[in-house]
């Protein structure tokens, strides 16, 4: 473990609670430090540093909470490098709830940093808080990028080095952008089922997903209709709140939670999500409400009930019993397990089962399929060096499959993997499982 003498300390003031004090202490004690998590941890696989492993980080957090270790820059660096991919939870035989340790601890840490610095920095304030959670703002912000792509000015700017003049996070954002399609028409509030009605569901469209991958939202609606679902798309829904919660902005996160709670009607059989990160956040609403609003039992109960209706689209269709698609999709594909689907939501087989229904689609296995690609929300913007190392690792494994197409069930993974493949000069389409299912149901090219 690391030395207790390190660089600049950011200890809480004497009259404040230590970082992590609100976390139930038995969660720390669940970890028996057996080390079975280390082989599943992306950062440990890259650095080999015990402090960059799940058990190492649990040791550090517990030591800080106990007051045995100062909250130094060195400690914070090891915690910042965590992707919160939750792969350690899948590997752990003791059932350690690592996400429910690192997430509230980081919330405390971010709040302490903001208090010390007088608020969040420009990138978090303007981009993460002011732009990303709002799909309409995102669509307007992407308008110049659409024209630059259309006129191929983006390639020219990269070739002559103009993009290097941008601040690092903005340069990263530009490099992650996929080819942008034309803005689709607005989704209606209700779409009828095709054939006998089997379920009534809500469709969560998200923020970045609706701005960048709006076609996937429409494909999701069509696939649900083809499976006999009446699809309700509330216009009042908004961002899931993950951006704010994971960066310590508790009040705005709760505001997003309650707006989504009120947007979706009570008579739905399920609320369908097609982005793994959003689904993980939505399913955790009840727990996070207990953490952020411990005295508001009514809010906790309402959000817990709402969270119980959240289903990933592949999870829901597998439970409903999908109507087999009939049109062939003659491609060789490989499937990447999004961390917040396979680890946080424990949904592994359902996407593969749906893909195997598609005529002539050959699904080939991907080595280290469930090792993080380096996206992890905004991680690839704030931790570019580690994100690039993990992206290159994922790219190498993808190229070894000889696949024609990569399948991913998370918007961040799709952006990260697509950018890594383009950067290496071997671009492949990166698509959502629902995009391929939609093609097989409707026979589109």
> Residue 1: its pLDDT value, please?
41
Q: Is residue 11 part of a domain?
A: no
d(CA 342, CA 347): 5
Hunting for tokens 């909470």 — which residue is that? Answer: 65
The answer, yes or no, to whether residue 7 has pLDDT greater than 90, is no
Length, in residues, of the chain: 445
Overall average pLDDT of the 416-429 stretch? 89
Four-CA torsion 21, 22, 28, 30, nearest 10 degrees = 150
The answer, yes or no, to whether residue 12 has pLDDT greater than 90, is no
Please indicate whether residue 114 or residue 162 has the higher confidence score (pLDDT). 114
> Residue 131: its pLDDT value, please?
87
CA angle 419, 169, 148 (to 5 degrees): 60
Where does 103-228 show beta strands of DSSP type E? Answer: 190-191, 199-203
Overall average pLDDT of the 315-335 stretch? 96
- Which residue, 318, 347, 380, sits at the end of a domain? 318
Nearest to 284 by CA among 153, 139, 426, 99: 99
Q: Are residues 195 and 308 in the same domain?
A: yes
Q: Are residues 424 and 356 in the same domain?
A: yes
Helix/strand/coil for 298: helix
Q: Is residue 378 part of a domain?
A: yes
Q: Are residues 42 and 75 in the same domain?
A: yes
Weakest mean pLDDT among 169-173, 232-236, 320-324: 169-173
- Mean pLDDT, rounded, of the chain: 89
- Which residue, 132, 151, 176, sits at the end of a domain? 176
Q: Is residue 182 part of a domain?
A: no
Hunting for tokens 């270790």 — which residue is that? Answer: 69
Nearest to 273 by CA among 132, 119, 409, 86: 409
Count CB atoms within 10 A of the CB of residue 67: 11
Q: Are residues 290 and 201 in the same domain?
A: yes
The answer, yes or no, to whether residue 171 has pLDDT greater than 50, is yes
CATH number, domain with residue 409: 3.40.50.11810
Q: Is residue 224 part of a domain?
A: yes
Residue range of the domain that includes 357: 325-442
> Residue 445: its pLDDT value, please?
59
How many folded domains does the chain comprise? 4
Q: What percent of the chain clears pLDDT 90, i.e. is strictly above it? A: 68
pLDDT, tens digit, 9 for 90 and up, residues 326-363: 999 999 999 999 999 999 999 999 999 999 999 999 99
Q: Are residues 348 and 236 in the same domain?
A: no
Binned at pLDDT 50, 70 and 90, residue 3 comes out as very low
**What's the sign of the alpha-carbon dihedral 46, 48, 54, 56?**
negative
Q: Are residues 168 and 94 in the same domain?
A: no
Overall average pLDDT of the 41-70 stretch? 94
Q: Is residue 399 part of a domain?
A: yes
Question: Quick one: residue 35, left, alpha or beta (phi over 0 = left, psi -120 to 50 = alpha)?
Answer: left
Q: Are residues 425 and 336 in the same domain?
A: yes
Q: Is residue 5 part of a domain?
A: no
> Residue 186: its pLDDT value, please?
86
pLDDT, tens digit, 9 for 90 and up, residues 87-96: 999 999 999 9
Q: Are residues 146 and 208 in the same domain?
A: no
Overall average pLDDT of the 99-123 stretch? 85
Check if the beta carbon of residue 184 is closer than 8 Å to that of residue 218.
yes
pLDDT, tens digit, 9 for 90 and up, residues 262-275: 999 999 999 999 99
Transcribe 325-394 into DSSP letters. P-S----EEEEE--HHHHTSS---HHHHHHHTTSTTPEEE--TTTTS--S-TTTHHHH-HHHHHHHHHHH
d(CA 30, CA 100): 12
Q: Is residue 7 part of a domain?
A: no
Overall average pLDDT of the 78-95 stretch? 93
- The model's pTM is 0.89
Overall average pLDDT of the 286-299 stretch? 93
Tally DSSP H helices, then E strands, for the chain.
24, 9
pLDDT, tens digit, 9 for 90 and up, residues 197-211: 999 999 999 998 898
d(CA 224, CA 312): 12
Binned at pLDDT 50, 70 and 90, residue 154 comes out as confident
Binned at pLDDT 50, 70 and 90, residue 8 comes out as very low
Q: Are residues 406 and 392 in the same domain?
A: yes
The answer, yes or no, to whether residue 4 has pLDDT greater than 70, is no
CA distances from 248 to 74, 81, 114, 251 (A): 20, 17, 9, 9
Q: Are residues 265 and 167 in the same domain?
A: no
CATH number, domain with residue 39: 1.10.1060.10
CATH number, domain with residue 218: 3.40.50
pLDDT, tens digit, 9 for 90 and up, residues 219-278: 999 999 999 999 999 999 999 999 999 887 888 999 999 999 999 999 999 999 999 999
Query: What are residue 332's phi and psi, to 5 degrees?
Result: -100, 115
Q: What is the DSSP letter of 72?
A: B
- Which residue, 257, 286, 318, sits at the end of a domain? 318
Q: Are residues 261 and 312 in the same domain?
A: yes
CA distances from 330 to 258, 335, 362 (A): 44, 16, 7
Q: Is residue 20 part of a domain?
A: no
The answer, yes or no, to whether residue 407 has pLDDT greater than 80, is yes
d(CA 443, CA 434): 14
Q: Are residues 376 and 425 in the same domain?
A: yes
């Amino acid at each position: 473990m690391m030395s207790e003498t390190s660089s600049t300390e950011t200890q809480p003031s004497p009259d404040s609670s230590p970082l992590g004090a609100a976390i139930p202490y038995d969660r720390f004690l669940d970890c028996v430090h057996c080390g079975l998590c280390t082989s599943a941890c992306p950062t440990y696989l890259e650095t080999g540093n015990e402090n960059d492993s799940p058990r190492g980080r649990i040791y550090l957090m517990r030591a800080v909470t106990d007051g045995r270790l100062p909250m130094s820059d060195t400690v914070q660096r090891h915690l910042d490098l965590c992707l919160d991919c939750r792969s350690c939870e899948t590997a752990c035989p003791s059932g350690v709830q690592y996400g429910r340790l690192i997430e509230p601890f980081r919330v405390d840490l971010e709040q302490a940093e903001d208090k010390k610095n007088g608020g969040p920095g420009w990138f978090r304030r303007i981009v993460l808080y002011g732009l990303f959670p709002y799909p309409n703002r995102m669509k307007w912000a992407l308008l110049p990028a659409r024209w630059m792509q259309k006129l191929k000015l983006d390639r020219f700017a990269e070739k002559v080095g103009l993009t290097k003049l941008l601040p690092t996070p903005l340069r990263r954002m530009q490099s992650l952008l996929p080819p942008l399609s034309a803005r689709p028409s607005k989704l209606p509030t209700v779409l009828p089922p095709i054939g006998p009605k089997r379920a009534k569901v809500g469709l969560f469209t998200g923020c970045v997903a609706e701005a960048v991958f709006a076609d996937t939202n429409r494909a999701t609606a069509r696939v649900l209709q083809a499976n006999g679902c009446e699809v309700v798309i509330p216009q009042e829904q908004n961002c899931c709140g993950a951006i704010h919660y994971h960066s310590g902005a508790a009040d705005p996160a709760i505001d997003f939670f309650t707006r989504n709670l009120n947007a979706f009607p009570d008579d739905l059989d399920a609320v369908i999500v097609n982005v793994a990160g959003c689904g993980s956040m939505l399913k955790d609403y009840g727990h996070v409400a207990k953490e952020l609003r411990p005295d508001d039992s009514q809010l906790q109960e309402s959000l817990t009930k709402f969270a119980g209706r959240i289903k990933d689209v592949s999870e829901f269709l597998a439970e409903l019993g999908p109507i087999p698609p009939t049109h062939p999709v003659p491609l060789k594909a490989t499937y990447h397990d999004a961390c917040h689907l396979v680890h946080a939501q424990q949904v592994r087989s359902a996407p593969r089962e749906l893909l195997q229904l598609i005529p002539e689609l050959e699904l080939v296995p991907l080595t280290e399929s469930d090792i993080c690609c380096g996206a992890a929300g905004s991680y690839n913007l704030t931790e570019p060096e580690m994100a690039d190392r993990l992206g290159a690792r994922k790219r190498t494994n993808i190229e070894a499959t000889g696949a024609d197409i990569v399948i991913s069930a998370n918007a961040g993974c799709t952006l990260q993997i697509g950018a890594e493949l383009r950067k290496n000069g071997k671009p492949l389409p990166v698509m959502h499982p629902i995009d391929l299912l939609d093609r097989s149901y409707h026979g589109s090219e």
